[in-house]
């Protein structure tokens, strides 16, 4: 199940599946390890279909070569006009920054142009130069800087909030 519009050169994004519980260490956003049973409970809780659209949209980040789940992306506010894209890549990956950059290149245009969100906000740590370059390549603008917000081993770095503004929603003066 690979959506063609969310497929890049090395990865693709797809909805979470129950079998993704086996790879929860890659996508579950927590400072503590999670086991498959807890991940399965999370997936069942988060993907209960009701009348209203879900408040969060969870997507698996999957490597094209081998269909390995290597992370997860969460869209906060998928049914609204504004949203936040949170990207979690397996911490043991050597190419984590490149994967996060490719997720931005796939998800931001989709959310802005196809889902027609007014703004898409993406938090990026200030030391992730590859991801920042991808955001700027997409025309995203720096909206805010939270000083020393992200903990790193023996240090702290700023958290940058980049925003993609949908030109269809911009109001022109005069």
The alpha carbon torsion through 148, 75, 170, 140 (nearest 10 deg) reads 50
For residue 72, being part of any structural domain is answered with yes
N- to C-terminal Cα separation, the chain: 47
Q: What is the CATH number of the domain that holds 11?
A: 3.40.630.30
For residue 77, being part of any structural domain is answered with yes
For residue 174, being part of any structural domain is answered with no
What average pLDDT score do residues 55-66 get? 90
Which tokens in the block code for residue 63? 């490597």
For residue 108, being part of any structural domain is answered with yes
For residue 132, being part of any structural domain is answered with yes
pTM listed for this prediction: 0.87
For residue 105, being part of any structural domain is answered with yes
d(CA 61, CA 119): 22
For residue 147, being part of any structural domain is answered with yes
Model confidence at 24, pLDDT cuts 50, 70, 90, reads: confident
Q: Of 10-14, 56-60, 165-169, which has the strongest mean pLDDT?
A: 10-14
Total domains in the chain come to: 1
The yes-or-no verdict on residue 174 having pLDDT over 70 is: no
The yes-or-no verdict on residue 52 having pLDDT over 70 is: no
Higher pLDDT, 174 or 148: 148
d(CA 57, CA 74): 6
Model confidence at 47, pLDDT cuts 50, 70, 90, reads: low
Q: How far is CA 51 from CA 17, 96, 131, in A?
A: 21, 36, 36
Q: What is the pLDDT of residue 78?
A: 72
Q: What is the pLDDT of residue 94?
A: 94
Model confidence at 31, pLDDT cuts 50, 70, 90, reads: confident
DSSP 114: I
User: Which residue range(s) make up the domain with 53?
Assistant: 4-169
For residue 124, being part of any structural domain is answered with yes
What average pLDDT score do residues 42-63 get? 78
User: 63 and 70 in contact (C-beta within 8 Å)?
Assistant: yes
């Amino acid at each position: 199940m690979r959506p063609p519009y969310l497929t890049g050169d090395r990865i693709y994004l797809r909805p979470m599946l129950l079998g993704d519980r086996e790879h929860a260490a890659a996508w579950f956003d927590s400072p503590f390890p999670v086991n498959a049973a807890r991940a399965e409970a999370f997936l069942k809780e988060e993907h209960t279909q009701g009348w209203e659209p879900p408040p969060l949209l969870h997507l698996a980040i999957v490597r094209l070569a081998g269909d390995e789940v290597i992370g997860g992306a969460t869209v906060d506010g998928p049914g609204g006009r504004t949203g936040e894209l949170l990207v979690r890549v397996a911490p043991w990956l050597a190419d984590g920054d490149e994967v996060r950059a490719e997720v931005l290149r796939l998800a931001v245009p989709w959310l802005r142009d196809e889902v027609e969100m007014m703004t898409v906000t993406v938090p990026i740590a200030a030391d992730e130069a590859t991801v920042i370059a991808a955001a700027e390549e997409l025309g995203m603008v720096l909206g805010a800087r939270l000083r020393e917000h992200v903990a790193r081993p023996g240090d702290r770095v700023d958290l940058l909030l980049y925003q993609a503004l949908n030109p269809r929603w911009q109001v022109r003066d005069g």
